[in-house]
Amino acid sequence: MFLKGKSAIVTGSTSGIGLALAKALAAEGASVMINGFGDADAIETERVALQAASGAKALYDGADMAKPDQIAAMVARAQDAFGGVDIAISNAGIQHVAPIEDFPVEKWDAILAINLSSSFHLMRAVVPGMKARGWGRILTTASAHSLVASPNKAAYVAAKHGIAGLTKTVALETAPFGVTVNCISPGYVWTPLVENQIPDTMAARGLTREQVINDVLLAAQPTKQFVLPEQVAALALFLCRDEAASITGANYSMDGGWTAA
Q: How far is the CB of 247 from ligand NAD (least distance, A)?
A: 19
CB-based contacts of 107, cutoff 8 Å, min separation 6: 96, 98, 155
201 touching ligand NAD, by CB under 6 A:
no
141 touching ligand NAD, by CB under 6 A:
yes
Q: Where are the beta strands (DSSP E) in the chain?
A: 7-10, 31-35, 58-61, 87-90, 136-141, 179-186, 251-254
Q: How far is the CB of 169 from ligand NAD (least distance, A)?
A: 19
112 touching ligand NAD, by CB under 6 A:
no
Q: What part of residues 210-249 is at the interface with ligand NAD (CB under 6 A)?
A: none
156 among known catalytic residues = yes
* Interface residue with ligand NAD, options 3, 6, 12, 239 (CB under 6 A): 12
Q: What part of residues 43-102 is at the interface with ligand NAD (CB under 6 A)?
A: 64-66, 91-94
162 touching ligand NAD, by CB under 6 A:
no
119 touching ligand NAD, by CB under 6 A:
no
**C-alpha to C-alpha distance for 6 and 87, rounded to whole angstroms:** 8
> Beta partners for 32?
8, 58
Burial class (CB in 10 A: 0-12, 13-18, 19+), 12: buried
> Beta partners for 35?
61
- Interface residues with ligand NAD (CB under 6 A) are 12-18, 35-38, 64-66, 91-94, 114-115, 141, 143, 186, 188-189, 191-194
